Amino acid sequence: MKKLSILFVISIIAFLSCKDNSFENVAQISDTDQPFSFKAETVVSGLEIPWGMVFLPDGSMLISEQKGDLIHFKNGKKTLVQNVPEVYHENQGGLLDIELHPNYSDNGWIYFSLSADIEKDGKGANTTIMRAKLKDNKLVDQEILYKATPNTKKGGHFGSRLEFDREGYLYVSIGDRQNRDVNPQDITRDNGKIYRFNDDGSIPLDNPFYNTEGAKKAIYSYGHRNPQGVAIHPVTGKIWIHEHGPQGGDEINIIDAGKNYGWPKITYGINYDDSVITDDTSLPGMEQPLHYWVPSIAPSGMDFVTSDKYPQWKGNLLVGSLKFKYLNRCVIKNNKVIKEEKLLEGIGRVRTILEAPDGYIYVAIEQLGIVKIVPN
């Protein structure tokens, strides 16, 4: 292992100094599997905080920069998209995730999450969901689908990821906006929730709280802290999320309609000043995480590996670590994480991961850009 660690450090140094910004790595799959050799090639450089990315049918990319820029990357060139809505770029807020409609080739709809102050009330911002179309390098036909309220000047916990399921419903993660004792457990309030919408922003009639008096009808599950990873399971079609805990207690959860995921009534974490949030890690009527991390890894972005280009990783879940600056590979068996492996250690704060239509895995890294994992 010492020899492998030394080789890996050397590979990182090579990455930092190599002209084409690529490096090779050897990942040990398990105690009995053969090593899997790959390299990471930088395909988009010079990005600050690339929060979301999607591939268009022509192979080009749309990349959201948290500061509010939307970048169209095509044929090796970055072009700023015009007419991007104004964002509230404070702390964790800004232009966040991007998702294409499942029938994008037919209808052209692109979905965005962002922090916004639409009301111009001077009270801050909250998570907002919109859609638009791209025409002549401009966003047109913009529609606000949902705006969480009330605004707050607190700078964190906007969420926010977007994911369509196989039935065409849009799932949205929204953080608790740092108001943990009020928002997550109250279904009459926004924030600390997973929402489910129809593709036009209307609310499905079979949402679990649609007929509950006073409830936010878009809520699909509640009791969440700050979910920054959402992915659809390639076999079951279930929605999986991960969310930031406080100090310790980052979680992976499988989302079910109407379920309460516990925050802050139950948690495996503590406050940042080491004081106790609650003595309870479980309570009746509250879901247990599929997996949790102590200490926290600060997870952001996630995707399942389904591509034949990575046979040793197929079915694994990839999760980015902001805190420790690596890509975390989770081996899943019977809905349990039975093994973890650190990939791309030291590369930078991993913000999002995407298995693209070309079958390759792309990883967006703060203050670097987007790298492509290429098997040797």
Please state, in angstroms and as integers, the Cα–Cα distance from residue 49 to each residue in 303, 326, 351, following that order: 19, 15, 8
Report yes or no: 21 and 15 within 8 Å, Cβ to Cβ. yes
The full DSSP string for 271-287 is: -TTS--S-S-S--TT-P
341-347 long-range contacts, CB within 8 A, separation 24+: 341/27, 341/28, 341/29, 343/25, 343/27, 344/25, 344/40, 344/371, 345/8, 345/12, 346/12, 347/12, 347/15, 347/40, 347/371
Question: Which residue is catalytic, options 101, 157, 242, 244?
Answer: 157
Helix (H, G, I), strand (E, B) or coil at 10: helix
Q: Is 72 annotated as catalytic? A: no
Q: For the chain, first and last CA: distance in Å?
A: 21
Q: Give bridge partners of residue 26 from the DSSP assignment.
A: 37
Catalytic residues: 157
